[in-house]
Amino acid sequence: MSVLDSFSLAGRIAVVTGGAGPQFGSSISEALAEAGATVVVASRDLDNNRRFVAGLNEQGLDTYPEALDITSTESIDNLKKRVMDRFGRVDVLVNSAVVGRGGGFDEQTPDYWAASAQGNMVGLFALCKAFVPAMADQGGGSLINISSIYGVVANDPGLYEETGMKQPPDYTFVKGGMINFTRYIANYYGKQGVRANCICPGGYYNEQPGPFVQKYEHRVPLGRMLNNEDLKGAVVFLASDASRYVTGVSLMVDGGWTAL
């Protein structure tokens, strides 16, 4: 096998949660499909999901829309059943979906944290519980969790001055825990052929206020914010045999932010 062949995902079944989302999810689904995988795009908004999948299929890619609410264990179990009934296996699981977040430390409440945890923590666990043992039973697979630079380092409050923006504390809590949970899965299932890794993206450009963008781009070594194309190579690498001896790592896709 040539090194380029090792990046191929031909014949593999991938599930991407939040797979039609404009931030990360859509580009992850597209990248896996472009690498040859059959991709199950699982998102809460099924109508939007169907439109997104139709566009990919028009390009000759092999994708399927599925409904998923990560706050509901019943929805997660139903997704697993539909995937296994249709394809009989799953080779790649990418956890990209998140429950909406907002508000700073002063605004968030214990009730908000409980709601956030139901999706972002319980949902993550339930998805891994549903799909990872099936990977182990078939002899291997790749789990990829989408964390954040703010799962590794603290946020910089100076970025948010004069912007009206605030960094939600539950986001940092969830993303930090995700990284260590990924390490747990890597160790627990490694000898059964399952690899588990995180991708930690940097700040994603989403038309934020000018002062924020300027300060962020001045601070980051590569001089710009992240865009959807920046994650594609990383997710295909971790999903494919090109990373067959890589597990338990957090791959920083942050333009050098955490190198400072």
Give pLDDT tens digits for 115-152. 898 889 999 999 999 999 999 999 999 999 999 999 99
Q: How many domains does the chain have?
A: 1
Question: Measured on CA atoms in the order 206, 119, 253, 43, is the torsion positive or negative?
Answer: negative
CATH code, domain carrying 38: 3.40.50.720
Residue 115 backbone phi and psi in degrees, to 5 = -65, -40
In a domain, 234, yes or no: yes
CA nearest 196: which of 147, 148, 253? 147
3-state secondary structure at position 142: strand
Give the structural domain span for 117.
5-154+166-204+228-252
Q: 167: which residues sit within 8 A by CB, 6+ positions away?
A: 104, 150, 155, 157, 160
The yes-or-no verdict on residue 100 having pLDDT over 80 is: no
Residue 169 backbone phi and psi in degrees, to 5 = -70, -30
In a domain, 80, yes or no: yes
Q: Could you tell me the CA-to-CA distances from 17 to 21, 42, 166 in Å, in that order?
A: 9, 5, 26
In a domain, 177, yes or no: yes
Predicted structure pTM score: 0.96
Q: How confident is the model at residue 23 (pLDDT cuts 50, 70, 90)?
A: confident
In a domain, 223, yes or no: no
In a domain, 210, yes or no: no
CA nearest 144: which of 33, 25, 30? 25
Mean pLDDT of the chain: 95
Q: Quick one: pLDDT at residue 101? A: 66
Condensed to tens digits (0 to 9), the pLDDT of residues 175-190 reads 999 999 999 999 999 9
CB 199 within 8 A of CB 146: yes
In a domain, 45, yes or no: yes
3-state secondary structure at position 88: coil
Q: Quick one: pLDDT at residue 260? A: 85
In a domain, 258, yes or no: no
In a domain, 212, yes or no: no
Condensed to tens digits (0 to 9), the pLDDT of residues 25-80 reads 999 999 999 999 999 999 999 999 999 999 999 999 999 999 999 999 999 999 99
